Structures are given as structure tokens and as C-alpha cells.
């Protein structure tokens, strides 16, 4: 088959599926054509974005602006922040847990049953001692189990992995309660990494957010770029405190850079994409997008319920949880099932009209 034919066929397929994209938290409403000229260069953000690099065709300056922006959203002064644009949520989580391990090599990682599948994998890769904590039925961590488990391991530092928007139900662990547990048990050595893949882009834009951010206890956070911001290339942002990052830095002569990132060669286009999205939409633009997504999520719950389907969602969540629907509906709408549940996520392309169609198919 000719190249043109192959490309046309693939594009048609992607285009068709993009119209039924309701189960994964990716904002498909974007237009980055203004950035296409950059596809003609070999750009690479190898090394620390806050230091020089011999690889001059980079977008480090823009990457630093993206890190500063996400740091401020996570309530950390930009001049106290360090971070970089990652390949996605998994790399950001690995970076955060790696940082926790470097600071507390004998720490135990506590994470909930509802943590993303990347977490147990990362803990295997990093060979970190860890304990899985029970979740409540709605996906939030079980605080009693957390309390009891930490209580019997009081001799070792706590590395807590907070779900700030769990994958299946959008649950946000109450980090105020977690800090109270640590206080109660007189734990002095602790580190908190937040997996805020999706909700890290929701909570800064709502009026009454659950506790989040560095002022509430985060030591590092991973936020996805291809989820709510929207990006044709998977990406994310990892942010931590500058003082911590210095602890893991190694200087590499070959690239004339400081080796603080997990990957060596890094995407230089994704920082541009994230920067461009915020430049064009502004914070107010994202606030409006989030408000509309939440309104559509409320509409979806109401529509499902009116058809006898017990849909629900957490506060400030665009993840609408439903009992596992028929396989045809799962396939057609690219829904993400797990055991007895599935969810639709009301990203901007999931309009009220689309919700009506999905509800019809799930009720069938």
C-alpha cells in the first residue's frame, strides 16, 4: 500500500474514534497548528531545564515557564520550585517516588488500592519497601487502615503517595487527614508525593477545592499534560522543591548538563505545547473549561439516574462512575471498565448531546 493511502486510512480511523472518545480523560479540543514549524527541527531538552546544555536547540526557557506556572497552581513559589516536563503521569510519579527514596532511603511507601497501576510498577523498579492500604468503596484511601499500618511501622520514615483524583473514581485522598495521622503518631520524617494526573488541573480552578498543594503538604506532584490541558503528544509536569532537587543532581560533561531528570533526551515540543495552551487560553479560559466540564458531569449523573442507572461522582470530579455497562457500549464509547464499574469522563468533547447518546446505549 502507498504511504498516502496508509496515512489516509489511519487518519480516518483516528478521526472516527475521536468522535466516540468518552472513557479516558483527554481533552481533544485543541489546535496547535501554529507550532507545526517546530516539527522541522531536531529539538531536544536533554538535561536540567534550569541549567545550560550543549544541546542548544532546546526549549528550556519555555519549559522553565511551564514549571513555574504549574508550581504556582500547586501553591509553591516559582523561585522555590524545581521540575520538568515529563513524558506523562508515570514518569512524574516515578520522579516523585525516587525523590522520596533519595531523601529517605529506608522509608516505607504507603499507597492505596486505588492508586494508578503505575505505582506498584514504579515501586518494583525502584525496589522500595511499600505497603498497600485498603480503599473505601468510593476509591478514597481508608484512613483507619492507614493509621493502623503506620502505627506499627513508626520506626521508619513515611513516604505517602496521595491520590489527587484516582483513575477509576476521581477520589481525592484527604491530605489534611493524612497529616493529622502523621502528627498523631509523632512521625517526624515523612514525604508526600501527589499523583494529581487529572485533578491537578481541576482543583486550582474550582471555588471549593479539597486540600491540595505544597502549602497543604505536597513534597512533589505529577500532573498530566495530555489529559485536561490537551496535547497530541503524551506529556506531564513534575514539580518538587528546589532544595530537594539539588540533592539528586549529577553533572554530565558529555551533554554539558546537570542530570536531574529521569530521561536523558527529552521532548522539547511538549513544553511548547503546554506553554502555548496557557498563553492562548489563559487561566480564565481553563477556569471556564473546568466549570463546563463539571456542569456536564452533573448533567450526566442526572441523565443516567433518570434512566435507573445509579451513576455518581465525587465532589469536583468529572469522572462519572456507572455500573459496568454492556460490552457494546464499552467498545463504542471507549469506556474504561474495571470489575463491576466503568466511567465516562466529561472532557470538553463530551457534550450534553453525546452524554444523551451514551446514556441511551448504556441503558439498552
Judged by the rule CB under 6 A, the positions of this chain that interact with ligand PLP are: 88-90, 93, 116, 118, 165-167, 195, 197-198, 224, 234, 236
For residue 117, give Cα distances in angstroms to 93, 124, 220, 228.
11, 12, 19, 20
Contact of 345 with 23, CB cutoff 8 Å:
yes
Residue number, 64 or 343, with CB nearest to ligand PLP: 343
Closest chain position to ligand PLP (CB) = 89
Residue number, 117 or 254, with CB nearest to ligand PLP: 117
User: Least distance to ligand PLP from the beta carbon of 88, Å?
Assistant: 3
Contact of 29 with 323, CB cutoff 8 Å:
no
User: Least distance to ligand PLP from the beta carbon of 12, Å?
Assistant: 26
State phi, psi for 97 to the nearest 5 degrees: -70, -35
Contact of 46 with 249, CB cutoff 8 Å:
no
User: Least distance to ligand PLP from the beta carbon of 165, Å?
Assistant: 6
Buried b (16+ CB within 10 A) or exposed e, 115-139: bbebbeebbeeeebebebbebbeeb
Catalytic hit among 53, 190, 199, 317: 317
Q: Using alpha carbons, select from 208, 116, 126 the residue that is nearest to residue 168.
A: 116
Has 317 been annotated as catalytic? yes
User: Least distance to ligand PLP from the beta carbon of 125, Å?
Assistant: 13
Work out the number of other CB atoms within 10 angstroms of the CB of residue 179: 17
Residue number, 63 or 91, with CB nearest to ligand PLP: 91
Residue number, 211 or 234, with CB nearest to ligand PLP: 234
Burial class (CB in 10 A: 0-12, 13-18, 19+), 197: buried
Residues annotated as part of the active site: 317
Amino acid at each position: 500500500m502507498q504511504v498516502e493511502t496508509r496515512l489516509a486510512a489511519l487518519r480516518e480511523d483516528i478521526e472516527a474514534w475521536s468522535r466516540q472518545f468518552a472513557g479516558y480523560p483527554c481533552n481533544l479540543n485543541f489546535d496547535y497548528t501554529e507550532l507545526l514549524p517546530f516539527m522541522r527541527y531536531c529539538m531536544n531538552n536533554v538535561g536540567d531545564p534550569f541549567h545550560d546544555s550543549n544541546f542548544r536547540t532546546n526549549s528550556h526557557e519555555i519549559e522553565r515557564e511551564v514549571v513555574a506556572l504549574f508550581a504556582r497552581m500547586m501553591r509553591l513559589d516559582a523561585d522555590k520550585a524545581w521540575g520538568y516536563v515529563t513524558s506523562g503521569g508515570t514518569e512524574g510519579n516515578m520522579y516523585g517516588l525516587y525523590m522520596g527514596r533519595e531523601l529517605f532511603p529506608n522509608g516505607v511507601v504507603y499507597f492505596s488500592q486505588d492508586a494508578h497501576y503505575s505505582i506498584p510498577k514504579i515501586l518494583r523498579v525502584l525496589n522500595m519497601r511499600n505497603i498497600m492500604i485498603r480503599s473505601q468503596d468510593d476509591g478514597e484511601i481508608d484512613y483507619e487502615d492507614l493509621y493502623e499500618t503506620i502505627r506499627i511501622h513508626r520506626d521508619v520514615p513515611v513516604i505517602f503517595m496521595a491520590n489527587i483524583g484516582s483513575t477509576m473514581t476521581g477520589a481525592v485522598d484527604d491530605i489534611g487527614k493524612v497529616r493529622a495521622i502523621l502528627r498523631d503518631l509523632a512521625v517526624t520524617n515523612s514525604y508526600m508525593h501527589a499523583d494529581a494526573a487529572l485533578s491537578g488541573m481541576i482543583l486550582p480552578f474550582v471555588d471549593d477545592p479539597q486540600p491540595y498543594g505544597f502549602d497543604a503538604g505536597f513534597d512533589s506532584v505529577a500532573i498530566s499534560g495530555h489529559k485536561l490541558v490537551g496535547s497530541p503528544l503524551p506529556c506531564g509536569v513534575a514539580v518538587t522543591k528546589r532544595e530537594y532537587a539539588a540533592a539528586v543532581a549529577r553533572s554530565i560533561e558529555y551533554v554539558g548538563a546537570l542530570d536531574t531528570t529521569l530521561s536523558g533526551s527529552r521532548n522539547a515540543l511538549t513544553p511548547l505545547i503546554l506553554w502555548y495552551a496557557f498563553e492562548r487560553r489563559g487561566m480564565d479560559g481553563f477556569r471556564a473549561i473546568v466549570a463546563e466540564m463539571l456542569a456536564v458531569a452533573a448533567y450526566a449523573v442526572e441523565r443516567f439516574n433518570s434512566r435507573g442507572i445509579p451513576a455518581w461522582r465525587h465532589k469536583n470530579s468529572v469522572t462519572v462512575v456507572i455500573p459496568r455497562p454492556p460490552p457494546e457500549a464499552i467498545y463504542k464509547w471507549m469506556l474504561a471498565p474495571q470489575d463491576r464499574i466503568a466511567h465516562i469522563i466529561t472532557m470538553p468533547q463530551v457534550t450534553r448531546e453525546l452524554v444523551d447518546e451514551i446514556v441511551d446505549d448504556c441503558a439498552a
